[in-house]
């Protein structure tokens, strides 16, 4: 470690943090520090696409969070994976490149009163860092750091599901990222030549490591932020107290302190620093620095309902991976061609449609997999099967993230409150019916799909909603816990430029800033937000 005095201090080397470090350290006159609690991304399973099976639930790469017992899940608690390594969750996620729908961003513009968040204004910031495999066009960019490719394999069972979805009225799609993602097709992925492409590879390795004004600490935890009063009595963030594994280090941030620790980590750090709901801080004997009741509120996540269908006469990963010959074949194919099951994302086929006719836009998303298991990290089932996971894209349920104690080492209390509204329970029931309608189409008949979970004995709304609580799990998209909003929104933690309200020189740039969850996977929208924030931060410094 050098003298702990920097222009910018970024907390969290995940999806947003890596891009911010790249952009801000491009100014040679500014010293940039990137702080990461995890280790470097030198674990081989991070880079082999199927390695998510060995990274999720592994303390080497995962924070190992768990939710509290959830009434909406009939009392179950869930494992809640979050990446803990360079690249953050981009080092353990499903690699799916997904922007969501144009209405998501137009909604943010309305909620914040800032037109710069609208789809037309957000699109250039998606394109700015994109390297699209087909080259640039009106919605895609080329030559950027963030590689987007086609998947390197096909499965007969997934092709049949796609045909069945079309027979059920869902159109074919070759690109989910043009503003309206309705349709069925194979996902595009953040890979390069058969390897996972995480944000550490994309944004840190090519440039940051060689810059003399850039410094990175790994295995370092922020204990709390440091605030000071200006002459007029207002507050500013001056830096942070950091535990480097051996000692406490005072770090100064001359221009800005930027939290990019994610929807769980950033509200935890704010609360430990005396910034948040006053009553919560009082309970943990933390002096109140600045009351912001919205810190840790507004948690949203996509809850996937994993329906499993046994099949006959077709190859699935279950049948391949449960034999020695199959394992040898899988390994040889990846070693020689960087293709096959070891190159595949957790979900290969996607579909976006409506759970009921009254919805104007697609409101449910499918992740379809040629495999089945009880949960990621668990063994594959011993029979051939596929999984059709479906999630409500726009849940109305809201949860919380709150510190458990005043110690930074203690994981926070995570309460998603899944299925806590009538609207979400209705969508859950209806989405299972859509799954059954697709699987009853002629295209799948030759494989004799048999609903193994949840089971056809469950038919009523009440039965299906309860069943959803029994079998559903997170799809790893927590957002909203430090949301941005308009000036009149008492629960808005950030303004529309992602600055913490009431504290100068402090910003939060991660998925927690989203006021509402996007209609799809959340990694790429987070990168877009970081791209915008990097511009604003540099402008403010000037």
Instruction: Round to whole Å and give the CA distance between 164 and 482.
Output: 41
* Active-site annotation holder among 140, 221, 255, 477: 477
**CA–CA separation, 232 and 55 (whole Å):** 49
C-alpha 182/C-alpha 441 separation (Å) is 19
**Residue 502, token pair as written in the block:** 């009431």
167 class by beta-carbon count within 10 Å (0-12 exposed, 13-18 middle, 19+ buried): middle
Reference 482, options 497, 498, 506; nearest CA is: 498
Polymer length in residues for the chain: 542
CA–CA separation, 354 and 533 (whole Å): 33
DSSP string, 225-262: EEEEE-TTS-EEEEEEEEE-SSSEEEEEEEEEEEE-SH
- Using CA atoms, how far residue 467 sits from 74, 305, 306, 459, in Å, is 9, 9, 11, 10
Is 47 annotated as catalytic? Answer: no
For residue 378, CA distances in Å to 315, 341, 371, 372 come to 20, 17, 12, 10
Measuring CA to CA, which residue among 541, 456, 27 is closest to residue 257? 541
One DSSP character per residue, 446-507 reads: TT--EEEES-TT--SHHHHHHHHHHHEEE-S--B-TT-B--TT-TT--B-TTSBBTTEETEE
Q: Is 204 helix (H, G, I), strand (E, B) or coil?
A: helix
Q: Nearest CA to 69 among 459, 418, 476, 433? A: 418
| Structural tokens at position 107 | 């909604």
User: What's the chain's Rg over C-alpha atoms?
Assistant: 23
Pairing relation of β-strands 195-196 and 450-453?
unpaired
Neighbouring residues of 156: CB distance < 8 A, sequence distance ≥ 6? 314, 315
β-pairing, 195-196 vs 413-415, is unpaired
Measured distance CA(13)–CA(200) in Å, rounded: 8
Residues taking part in catalysis? 477
């Amino acid at each position: 470690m050098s003298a702990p005095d920097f222009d910018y201090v970024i907390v969290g080397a995940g999806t947003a943090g890596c891009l911010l470090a790249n952009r801000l350290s491009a100014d040679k006159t500014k010293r940039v520090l990137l702080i990461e609690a995890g280790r470097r991304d030198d674990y081989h399973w991070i880079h082999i696409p199927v390695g998510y099976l060995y990274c999720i639930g592994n303390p080497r790469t995962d924070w190992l969070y768990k939710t509290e017992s959830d009434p909406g899940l009939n009392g179950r608690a869930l494992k809640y994976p979050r990446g803990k390594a360079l690249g953050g969750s981009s080092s353990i996620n499903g690699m799916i490149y997904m922007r969501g729908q144009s209405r998501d961003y137009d909604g943010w513009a309305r909620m914040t009163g800032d037109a710069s968040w609208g789809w037309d204004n957000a699109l250039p910031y998606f394109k700015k860092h994109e390297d699209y495999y087909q080259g640039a066009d009106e919605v895609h960019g080329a030559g950027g750091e963030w590689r987007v490719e086609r998947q390197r394999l096909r499965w007969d069972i997934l092709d049949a599901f796609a045909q069945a979805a079309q027979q059920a009225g869902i159109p074919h799609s070759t690109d989910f990222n043009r503003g309206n993602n309705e349709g069925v097709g194979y996902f595009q992925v953040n890979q390069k030549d058969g390897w996972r492409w995480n944000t550490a590879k994309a944004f840190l390795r090519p440039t940051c490591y060689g810059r003399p004004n850039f410094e990175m600490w790994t295995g370092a935890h922020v204990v709390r932020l440091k605030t000071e009063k200006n002459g007029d009595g207002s507050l500013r963030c001056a830096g942070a107290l950091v535990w480097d594994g051996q000692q406490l280090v005072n770090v100064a941030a001359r221009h800005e302190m930027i939290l990019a620790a994610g929807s769980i980590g950033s509200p935890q750090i704010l609360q430990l620093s005396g910034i948040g709901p006053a009553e919560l801080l009082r309970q943990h004997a933390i002096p109140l620095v600045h009351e912001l009741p919205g810190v840790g509120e507004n948690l949203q996540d996509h809850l996937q309902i994993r329906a499993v269908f046994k099949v006959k006469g077709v190859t699935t990963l279950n049948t391949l991976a449960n034999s020695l010959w199959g394992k040898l074949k899988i390994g040889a194919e990846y070693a020689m061609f960087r293709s096959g099951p070891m190159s595949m994302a957790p979900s290969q086929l996607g579909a976006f449609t409506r759970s009921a006719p009254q919805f104007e836009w697609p409101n449910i998303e499918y992740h379809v997999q040629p495999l089945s298991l009880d949960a990621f990290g668990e063994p594959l089932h011993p029979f051939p099967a596929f999984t059709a996971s479906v999630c409500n894209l726009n849940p109305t349920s809201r949860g919380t993230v709150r510190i458990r104690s005043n110690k930074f080492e203690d994981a926070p209390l995570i309460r998603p409150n899944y299925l806590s509204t009538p609207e979400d329970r209705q969508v859950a029931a209806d989405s299972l019916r859509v799954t059954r309608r697709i699987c009853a189409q002629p295209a799948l008949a030759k494989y004799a799909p048999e609903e193994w979970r949840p089971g056809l004995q469950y038919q009523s709304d009440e039965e299906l909603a309860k069943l959803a609580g029994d079998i559903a799990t997170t799809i790893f998209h927590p957002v909203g816990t430090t949301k941005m909003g308009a000036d009149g929104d008492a629960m808005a933690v950030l303004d529309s430029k992602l600055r913490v309200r009431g504290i100068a020189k402090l910003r939060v740039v991660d998925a927690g800033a989203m006021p509402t969850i996007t209609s799809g996977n959340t990694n790429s929208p987070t990168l877009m937000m970081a791209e915008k924030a990097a511009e604003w931060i540099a402008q403010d410094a000037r």
